[in-house]
Amino acid sequence: MNAGETLESYLGGAWVRGQGVETELVNPSNGDVLTSASAKGLDLQSALAHARDKGGRALRALSYAERAKLLGAVADVLAANRARYEETAIANSGNTKIDAAIDIDGGIGTLKYYARLAAPLGEARALIDEKPVRLAKAENFQAIHMLVPRHGVAVHINAFNFPSWGLWEKAACTLLAGMPMLAKPASATCLLSQQMVRDVIAAKVLPEGALSLLCGGIGDLLDHVIADDVIAFTGSSATANRIVANPNVLARGARVNVEADSINAALLAPGVAAATPAFDAFIKEVAREMTVKAGQKCTAIRRVFVPAQQANAVTDALAARLAKTTVGDPRDEKTRMGPLVNRAQQAAALAGIARLAREAQFVTGSPQAPRLDGIDGEKSAFVAPTLLKAGDGAGSALHDTEVFGPCATLIPYQNEAEAFALVARGGGSLVASVYGEDRDFLARAVTELGALHGRVLAVEPSIADAHTGHGIVMPQCHHGGPGRAGNGAELGGLYGLRFYHQRVAVQGSTELLGTLQATAAALK
Amino acid sequence: MNAGETLESYLGGAWVRGQGVETELVNPSNGDVLTSASAKGLDLQSALAHARDKGGRALRALSYAERAKLLGAVADVLAANRARYEETAIANSGNTKIDAAIDIDGGIGTLKYYARLAAPLGEARALIDEKPVRLAKAENFQAIHMLVPRHGVAVHINAFNFPSWGLWEKAACTLLAGMPMLAKPASATCLLSQQMVRDVIAAKVLPEGALSLLCGGIGDLLDHVIADDVIAFTGSSATANRIVANPNVLARGARVNVEADSINAALLAPGVAAATPAFDAFIKEVAREMTVKAGQKCTAIRRVFVPAQQANAVTDALAARLAKTTVGDPRDEKTRMGPLVNRAQQAAALAGIARLAREAQFVTGSPQAPRLDGIDGEKSAFVAPTLLKAGDGAGSALHDTEVFGPCATLIPYQNEAEAFALVARGGGSLVASVYGEDRDFLARAVTELGALHGRVLAVEPSIADAHTGHGIVMPQCHHGGPGRAGNGAELGGLYGLRFYHQRVAVQGSTELLGTLQATAAALK
């Protein structure tokens, strides 16, 4: 890696370099500059046109099964280079090996999942949704609902915390749907995305134009999207709102999918005694969610709701677990949690912690960066595992403030109704998890909390060791939440392909509809 | 009707009157003032809270089958009062009896359709989408996708052209989903909406809070929506963009569905000879679409694509049909087409026609209002049936300008590829219709045009007399289009309920999921 050269972007079928330096990519454990990114001066309008004209045509000419094979080939290229990616994730993202695996293997696994899932769609080039419906007395006039690939380009604007998974989870559904993509990873960690795309392009496993990559600022990209295009965004609400309200995006009606801030909840059911299996599963999951990837997951647990009677027991158990989390440089084998991704994120997280601390008391952590042996506090981006406990009369900051780091707030509740009402104050989240033995309570929680969540994980003792976790996004399941989480819908098996297709009602003769059905695949 | 009193709104469980006059409702055939509307000074925040707390709780306590019965009861109330509604539609909307039937019977029919469709959902209070999926090695940990009713209120912002259908097509899916609604019809024609809601409220067929009505300006309504709420809008792109970009709507992440401008296309297939059944079906449908409701349908045909060889034959046939369309006061039995809804719409339509005329020649009509016997041209809002024909080198106005009146532009094309490319210049539309005998061409047209349309109607001779029409929105079919049409999704059978539910992935033990499935209905 030459820190003196700006990372190239892959646009219009060539590797191109922006002018100057927009962002320096650093090692957040020690402040070393790894490389830099800039997209200044790059012709983004032509890049979009190239993707649409070249990539779109090539992909739409393939069947779903052929596109599924492309995903498998991409996954193989990535798997072959995994060791190099892990090094980059540790250096540029401050990841531990476990953190890096979630990002890297999560991306590869999602590609492989979709390759398997879509293979049975066979030679089809469109999908059929639901059965034909009668519209009039005449039996030979009916309607079907088809999903046809959109003719534009999918613009992916990804978050810094998943330079691999964020890239490939969107790529899987996009390419499978027959749309080309232009990915713009967050500059802070785009090195890993760039290495991966470079390997995939070099391996020539995708048709030219199917995959473009923009390393650097977004520039005037959104001024050039058209009605055929879609935008899939993951990141902060503030940025999401700027995208949604962009005048050209509004004027063209480009479709936008948003995954944004989320103050996710974990809820211990009423009546669960300390040191029971449900209690232990709850403690284990909350501590894990707080510390994995140093809490930098959009799905991480931020609010921890416990029956008031159990507040002390939960506090003690969590504090004991967090005390065992060794924080440090992830290259050190003893390290269990690394730094945040950079000092700007560290500053934002510490400011958020200070805001929470107006309404809550520290159990662990503080509003300052921790002092760590052998770490330069002026150059690194560490935040200690920070657990707060809400005081009486806590206000709205606990429900409104997303600290994007290893921090959660414990909030006692008096009864079931209050618990559900408090969770709802998050204003819509990606995921809530509930822990208990009473299955009737769990069922009520699913229905009540489901109205404001994209996913609910219900943990009872029988699955305490089997479940896939509060924060892990499984490609089989809907990913996205209502309200402040942005109303997005990603993944969820073949459902995730919908965003990249146009759903169209086709009204015609039964003979014509039969012809169309014969060359399309049923969606389920 | 007392023209001196402002129409009341039904908010917070009571009929309330705004201050002063925001909008006068007129008879567009003669300028008579019928009544007025104002929502000034009304407490919209409390109205939303009342709907959520009272209406939402009551509706969610009912099963789908019980809610289906409510829709049936509403339809019965409306059917019993139909004659009065027709009078209002003729007076306030300038409707002919056929126009009025599309609006009034369309609304009643949609309610009845959904009442029948949802009855089999039975005692369920949530829906299950797709089959359970495995997530891990353990068989007892799986996921299902549920749709649970959202806890907020559905704000409906409707267009002036369908004061009945627009109200009830949205009401059907909303109430069935267990959400209360607050409808804000366009002020210009809200008299019919108000009469209908007044009858339904008086009949006490809905739980209190389920149905609220705002007659008058929208005021600060959007400043009070929350994450639980949804907004369903039909109208202009300009207004849609203001709603989508409203700071509170963005901050809360209230979900928005938009049906907006659409420059819909009709396409005569290559090689169709004049005076054949496909040709005649095409001419009949284009002329009908131009004149029904004086062209004031979001689905109406605006662009008419014909093979260059047939341009003259189509021009002559359409001109002959349009010449037979008697324009006048709809109270006159000879009248086949009435006025636009008011003089502001007339002025906008004539301005749009003038814009088109820079790129096209008049076949029928002109940029001025027609002179009609016994009609005061200074007080009425008539526009003559106006057909234009694109000249060589026509620019983008033909593809960008939605004249919301009885106006369409004929655009010759040279070959199939050019035809599809020209249609796509509309930038996304609600509907396209294609007419021909060559089924292979029709199939290609569906796939190509489908990418930028919400619905494609393919007419071949065998269904020339059986099809339901280019512009008629059938509740069985998806309604909404991509791009400039707003990316909305309404109706389409039970699919239309999705917007008013939250789709949530539920991960848990197979026993818990079984419990949830037992009390929910499968979506198909």
Cβ B115 vs Cβ B69: under 8 Å: yes
How much is the CA Rg of chain B, to the nearest whole Å? 24
The reply to whether B259 belongs to the active site is yes
**Closest to B279 measured CA to CA, from B310, B320, B319, B308:** B310
Q: Is 0.85 exceeded by the ipTM?
A: yes
What Cα–Cα distance (Å) separates residue A94 from each residue in A195, A327, A383, A438?
17, 11, 12, 40
Cβ B222 vs Cβ B184: under 8 Å: no
Chain A nearest CA to B288, separation (Å): 18
Q: CA angle, B300 as apex, B299 and B303 as ends, to 5°? A: 115
Q: Where are the alpha helices (DSSP H) in A292-415?
A: 311-323, 343-356, 397-400
The rounded Cα B519 to chain-centroid distance in angstroms is: 34
What whole-number distance in Å separates Cα of residue B424 and Cα of residue B159?
Answer: 25
CA torsion B8-B12-B14-B17 (nearest 10°) is -30
What whole-number distance in Å separates Cα of residue A107 and Cα of residue A76?
Answer: 12
Confidence bin at A130 (pLDDT 50/70/90):
confident
Roughly how many angstroms between the first and final C-alpha of chain B, as a whole number? Answer: 46
Cβ B172 vs Cβ B108: under 8 Å: no
Query: Nearest Cβ partner of A253 from B251, B485, B508?
Result: B485
Cβ A192 vs Cβ A163: under 8 Å: yes
pLDDT reported for residue A55: 98
Chain B nearest CA to A516, separation (Å): 7
pLDDT reported for residue A523: 86
* Conformation bin of residue B209: beta by default, left when phi > 0, alpha when psi is -120 to 50: left
* Among chain A residues, CA nearest to B247: A241
What whole-number distance in Å separates Cα of residue A313 and Cα of residue A274?
Answer: 7
What whole-number distance in Å separates Cα of residue B189 and Cα of residue B341?
Answer: 8
The rounded Cα A28 to chain-centroid distance in angstroms is: 21
Helices B190-202 and B64-80 pack at an angle, to 10 degrees, of 120
Q: Which residues of A touch B131 (CB under 8 A)?
A: 524
What Cα–Cα distance (Å) separates residue A102 from each residue in A161, A250, B408?
11, 35, 56
Cβ A432 vs Cβ A443: under 8 Å: no
What Cα–Cα distance (Å) separates residue B480 from each residue in B423, B486, B494?
17, 7, 15
**B462: number of Cβ within 10 Å:** 18
Cβ–Cβ gap B507/A456 under 8 Å: yes
For residue range A61-79, list pLDDT tens digits in order.
Answer: 999 999 999 999 999 999 9
Sign of the torsion angle spanned by Cα atoms B240, B243, B246, B249:
negative
pLDDT reported for residue B1: 47
For residue range A203-261, list pLDDT tens digits in order.
Answer: 999 999 999 999 999 999 999 999 999 999 999 999 999 999 999 999 999 999 999 98
Cβ–Cβ gap B506/A458 under 8 Å: yes
Cβ–Cβ gap B477/A443 under 8 Å: no
* Among chain B residues, CA nearest to A523: B130
Confidence bin at A4 (pLDDT 50/70/90):
low
Chain A nearest CA to B291, separation (Å): 22
Cβ A420 vs Cβ A449: under 8 Å: yes
pLDDT reported for residue B429: 98
Residue-wise DSSP of A257-287: EEE----EEEEEPTTPPTTSHHHHHHHHHHH
Low-confidence ranges of chain B (pLDDT < 70): 1-4, 393
Cβ–Cβ gap B458/A512 under 8 Å: yes
Cβ–Cβ gap B250/A255 under 8 Å: no
Confidence bin at A1 (pLDDT 50/70/90):
very low
pLDDT reported for residue B4: 64
Q: Which residues of A touch B495 (CB under 8 A)?
A: 130, 145
**Closest to B455 measured CA to CA, from B437, B439, B468, B440:** B468
Stretch (H or E) spanning A149: strand A141-149
**B392: number of Cβ within 10 Å:** 6
Cβ–Cβ gap B478/A512 under 8 Å: no
What whole-number distance in Å separates Cα of residue B37 and Cα of residue A128?
Answer: 46
Helix, strand, coil shares of chain B, percent, nearest 5, are 40, 20, 35
What whole-number distance in Å separates Cα of residue A392 and Cα of residue B293?
Answer: 62
Question: pLDDT > 70: what percent of chain A?
Answer: 99
Residue B275 main-chain phi, psi, to 5 deg: 65, 20
Establish, for the pair of chains A and B, how many residue pairs have beta carbons separated by less than 8 Å: 290
How much is the CA Rg of chain A, to the nearest whole Å? 24
What whole-number distance in Å separates Cα of residue A262 and Cα of residue A256?
Answer: 18
Sign of the torsion angle spanned by Cα atoms A379, A385, A390, A395:
positive
**A140: number of Cβ within 10 Å:** 15
Q: Which residues of B touch A504 (CB under 8 A)?
A: 446, 450, 453-456, 478
* Among chain B residues, CA nearest to A518: B443
What tokens does A72 get? 């498998």
Q: Where are the alpha helices (DSSP H) in B31-143?
A: 44-50, 57-60, 64-80, 82-93, 97-118
Average pLDDT over residues A288-305: 98
What whole-number distance in Å separates Cα of residue A298 and Cα of residue A280?
Answer: 24
Confidence bin at A3 (pLDDT 50/70/90):
low
Point out the residues of A that are catalytic.
259, 298
Query: Nearest Cβ partner of B250 from A134, A136, A241?
Result: A241
Q: Which residues of A touch B462 (CB under 8 A)?
A: 140, 509, 511
